[in-house]
């Protein structure tokens, strides 16, 4: 294929001229010389005649860019092309059965508030249902802990005390009247501050949006409200969903206050870890649930792409963003997922699928494998990860070795995230609002968004085509397995499964030599999160890592 066939690549790559700068020089118009420089950026060379022929076409394209930019577009407006993670001839199960959580009927109420604060949903729900504990008392316990510790952790943006107490009292009245909404009835929680809630700020963790108010409420918040959950506050995220640095500081890891909470669901994970809330909602595009869950020693669930509506959430990457719970256990996450999941007419990317968890079903029905190359010494496997395999074997599983191989270069597909992020925050770059972000290093969003302006449209589409191939290959891995075990950050599985939209459960599995929490990840096929919950619960019943408390906050 000759270079003329690659002419469309310049549609976006020539966009650097729109900025009017290159190597310290500025130009009034497009020239053959500037086209040559643009070609260098994308690795293509053109003859002088070819460059001269392109000038008028590129001038017209530049004029069209300016016409588009005359209209402002809200972050919530998604592209007309919607990502679908379903492989060929694969359809999720549609029949929704009754869910059996198999929660204990009798739970003892601890004497100390701090011990109540570190209980999970599976323990708190029976206490509230039996009226041994009121939602109002529980809410006040968490509100007081938030007031006491949130400044130390730098994890809170907005406290919603009046509305939280009002909701808690209403939930207590309902229970006394004989109405019980389910296991989240009267349970307090928090959200990452990229979800819109009417009459509150939605800052996205970034200075340019510090006082932003969005006149709607995210779909998941509405669903949790209907389930009886009590929203206490909006917690920090790294600016525009990267890292743990936000406009007010650096969110801290409760296990080590010299260390950040990791991101971008930094505040959500930090608050759960320190016992400020029993669960929180986070988001993941490329590690933003898995990473802070690991750092803070909590349990995070990244659902299948399309499982949970993103309406009312900040968009970073329309084809990769996913919403999921962070809590104290796999079972807790399952209870939250059962509420927030489902098709939403306001989010075209949502896909109908059943979530059929049954706590009475034997785990022995599960077929479990592991990515063997990541558990070898040359992969720097840790004793904590190896111990997980032994525990799973002790539970009665014959683990089978699986090799994670792909026919495409996965790392190159990251340009899809970069291009979509740059589009989502187009005006931030063009109007120089990115200068207001705290992080300004080479790996921070301001620089990445600028560089993404030079990603050719053709390469973005090619990456999307390779991604379709990757989806088929990963789907084939799950043909013979229900759950695959992997170290959380080994190889490129984290990027692969975020690109393909597969669900992941990140669980604490011990501590490293520095005393920081570590994690293991369980993977399942698309829309089979109930299998993750089944194995995750069995593993956590056999261990005690999820019960550990950061000493500084165990008071």
- Looking at the structure, do residues 8 and 157 belong to the same domain, yes or no? no
CATH of the domain at 385: 3.90.1300.10
Please give the average per-residue pLDDT across 461-483, as a whole number. 96
Q: How many CA atoms lie within 13 A of 317 on its CB side?
A: 25
- Looking at the structure, do residues 11 and 144 belong to the same domain, yes or no? no
Q: Determine the pLDDT at residue 93.
A: 93
- Looking at the structure, do residues 396 and 514 belong to the same domain, yes or no? yes
CB 301 within 8 A of CB 505: yes
User: Among residues 71, 98, 130, which one ends one of the domains?
Assistant: 71
Distances, alpha carbon 486 to alpha carbons 48, 198, 374, 524, 527, in Å: 53, 40, 7, 11, 19
- Six-digit token pair at 56? 């008028």
- Looking at the structure, do residues 183 and 261 belong to the same domain, yes or no? yes
pLDDT in tens, 70-107: 989 999 999 999 999 999 999 999 999 999 999 999 99
Has residue 215 been placed in a domain? yes
Handedness of CA 76, 353, 333, 417 (dihedral sign): negative
Contacts (Cβ under 8 Å, ≥6 apart) of 315: 75, 76, 78, 321, 424
Please give the average per-residue pLDDT across 321-329, as a whole number. 98
Has residue 454 been placed in a domain? no
Q: Determine the pLDDT at residue 29.
A: 86
Measured CA to CA, the distance from residue 398 to residue 414 in angstroms comes to: 35
DSSP string, 217-265: --HHHHHHHHTT-EEEEEE--STTSSSSEETTEEPEETTEEEEE--SSS
Please give the average per-residue pLDDT across 246-255, as a whole number. 98
- Looking at the structure, do residues 20 and 162 belong to the same domain, yes or no? no
- Looking at the structure, do residues 27 and 133 belong to the same domain, yes or no? no
Measured CA to CA, the distance from residue 398 to residue 182 in angstroms comes to: 36
- Looking at the structure, do residues 138 and 279 belong to the same domain, yes or no? yes
Question: Can you state the percent helix, strand and coil of the chain, rounding each to 5?
Answer: 45, 15, 45
Type and span of the H or E element at 520: strand 517-524
- Looking at the structure, do residues 55 and 158 belong to the same domain, yes or no? no
**b/e for 224-246, b at 16 or more Cβ within 10 A?**
bbebbbbbbbbbbbbbbbbbbbb
Has residue 387 been placed in a domain? yes
Tokens 């209209």 map to which residue? 71
Has residue 416 been placed in a domain? no
CB 228 within 8 A of CB 184: yes
- Six-digit token pair at 258? 């010299």
Say how many domains are in the chain: 2
Has residue 55 been placed in a domain? yes
Query: Quick check: helix, strand or coil at residue 342?
Result: coil
Tokens 């943006």 map to which residue? 157
Contacts (Cβ under 8 Å, ≥6 apart) of 357: 99, 100, 101, 334, 338, 530, 533, 534
- Looking at the structure, do residues 131 and 199 belong to the same domain, yes or no? yes
User: Among residues 12, 42, 71, which one ends one of the domains?
Assistant: 71
Could you tell me where the beta strands, DSSP code E, fall in 160-227?
188-192
Share of the chain above pLDDT 70, in %: 95
- Looking at the structure, do residues 199 and 285 belong to the same domain, yes or no? yes
- pLDDT of residue 3 exceeding 70: no
Q: Which domain holds residue 32?
A: 1-71
Instruction: Give residue 9's pLDDT band: very low, low, confident or very high (50, 70, 90).
Output: very low
Mean pLDDT of the chain: 94
Has residue 185 been placed in a domain? yes
Please give the average per-residue pLDDT across 166-172, as a whole number. 98
- Looking at the structure, do residues 211 and 314 belong to the same domain, yes or no? yes
Has residue 5 been placed in a domain? yes
Q: Determine the pLDDT at residue 12.
A: 36
Instruction: Give residue 28's pLDDT band: very low, low, confident or very high (50, 70, 90).
Output: low
Query: Structure pTM?
Result: 0.92
- pLDDT of residue 18 exceeding 80: no
User: Among residues 71, 99, 127, which one ends one of the domains?
Assistant: 71
Please give the average per-residue pLDDT across 404-421, as a whole number. 95
List the beta bridge partners of residue 252: 260
- Looking at the structure, do residues 124 and 190 belong to the same domain, yes or no? yes
Has residue 422 been placed in a domain? no
């Amino acid at each position: 294929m000759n270079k003329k066939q690659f002419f469309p690549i310049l549609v976006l790559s020539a966009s650097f001229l729109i900025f009017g700068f290159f190597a310290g020089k500025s130009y009034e118009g497009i020239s053959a010389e500037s086209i040559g420089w643009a070609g260098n950026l994308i690795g293509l060379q053109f003859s002088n005649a070819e460059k001269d022929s392109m000038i008028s076409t590129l001038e017209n394209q530049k004029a069209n860019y300016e016409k588009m930019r005359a209209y402002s577009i809200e972050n919530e407006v998604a592209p007309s092309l919607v990502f679908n993670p379903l492989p060929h001839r694969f359809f999720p199960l549609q029949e929704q059965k009754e869910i059996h959580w198999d929660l204990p009927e009798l739970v003892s109420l601890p004497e100390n508030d701090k011990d109540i604060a570190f209980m999970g949903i599976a323990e708190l729900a029976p206490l509230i249902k039996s009226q041994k504990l009121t939602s109002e008392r529980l809410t006040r316990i968490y509100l007081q802990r938030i007031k006491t510790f949130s400044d130390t952790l730098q994890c809170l943006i907005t406290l919603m005390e009046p509305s939280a107490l009002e909701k808690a009292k209403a939930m207590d009245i309902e229970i006394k009247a004989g109405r019980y909404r389910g296991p989240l009835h009267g349970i307090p929680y928090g959200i990452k501050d990229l979800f819109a809630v009417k009459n509150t700020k939605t800052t996205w963790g970034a200075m340019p949006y510090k006082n932003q108010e969005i006149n709607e409420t995210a779909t998941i918040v509405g669903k949790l409200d209907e389930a009886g959950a009590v929203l206490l506050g909006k917690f920090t995220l790294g600016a525009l969903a990267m890292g743990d640095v936000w406009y007010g500081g650096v969110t801290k890891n409760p296990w080590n206050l010299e260390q950040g909470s990791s991101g971008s669901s930094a505040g959500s994970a930090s608050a759960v870890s320190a016992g400020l809330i029993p669960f929180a909602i986070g988001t993941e595009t490329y590690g933003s649930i898995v990473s802070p869950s690991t750092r803070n020693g909590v349990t995070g669930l990244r659902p299948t792409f399309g499982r949970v509506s993103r309406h009312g959430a900040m968009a970073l990457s329309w084809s990769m963003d996913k919403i999921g719970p962070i809590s104290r256990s796999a079972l807790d996450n399952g209870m939250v997922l059962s509420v927030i999941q489902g098709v939403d007419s306001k989010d075209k990317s949502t896909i109908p699928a059943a979530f059929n968890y049954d706590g009475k079903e034997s785990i022995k029905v599960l077929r479990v494998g592991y990515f063997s190359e990541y558990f070898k010494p040359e992969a720097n496997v840790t004793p904590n990860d190896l111990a997980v395999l032994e525990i799973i074997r002790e539970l009665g599983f014959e683990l089978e070795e699986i090799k994670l191989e792909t026919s495409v270069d996965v790392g190159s597909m990251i340009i899809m995230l970069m291009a979509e992020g740059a589009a989502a925050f187009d005006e931030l770059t063009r109007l120089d609002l990115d200068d207001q972000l705290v992080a300004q290093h080479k790996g921070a969003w301001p620089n990445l968004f600028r560089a993404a302006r030079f990603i050719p449209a053709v390469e973005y589409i090619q990456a999307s085509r390779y991604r379709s191939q990757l989806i088929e290959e990963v789907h084939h891995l799950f043909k013979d397995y229900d759950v695959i075990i992997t170290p959380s950050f080994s190889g490129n599985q984290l990027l692969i499964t975020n690109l393909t939209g597969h669900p992941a459960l990140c669980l604490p599995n011990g501590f490293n030599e520095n005393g920081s929490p570590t994690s293991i990840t369980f993977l399942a096929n698309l829309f089979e999160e109930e299998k993750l919950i089944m194995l995750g619960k069995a593993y956590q019943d056999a261990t005690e890592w999820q019960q550990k408390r950061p000493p500084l906050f165990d008071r």
